[in-house]
Amino acid sequence: MAFVVTHLCVDCVDTACVAVCPVDCFYQPKEVSEEYPNMLYISPEECIDCAVCEPECPWEAIYPEEDVPEVFEGDIALNEKCDTDRDAFKLAEVVEHEPPTPEEVAANKAKYGL
């Protein structure tokens, strides 16, 4: 099992999760595209399932693989792309962000029916 970053991260990209990751398994696309949206990705090959990232994500975008909501099931394969197409990704770096408000998180989830 690995953890998965879902589309709840698209265009939000808060790196609080990156800051606590003990193995640096978070990646970002070198070039944002339709194929590789502007979001963080977790390498399933590198993730050690420590779970420290999940509660740190202010957008509530990270799930254990077996708990990924149905609407985001495609994100499991999307996260795997940072392993299978490594040249298209770079290691994510911590960048300070203003955390979202609870209303912003709720509105983001509502876009996906959550």
- Give the residue numbers spanning the domain of 72: 3-94
CA gyration radius for the chain? 13
Number of domains in the chain: 1
* Residue at 75 is within a domain: yes
Q: What is the pLDDT of residues 42-65, one digit of tens each?
A: 999 999 999 999 999 999 999 999
Amino acid, res. 47: C
Q: Which CATH number covers residue 30?
A: 3.30.70.20
* Residue at 110 is within a domain: no
Amino acid, res. 61: A
Q: What is the pLDDT of residues 10-50, one digit of tens each?
A: 999 999 999 999 999 999 999 999 999 999 999 999 999 99
Which one-letter DSSP state was computed for residue 52? S
* Residue at 111 is within a domain: no
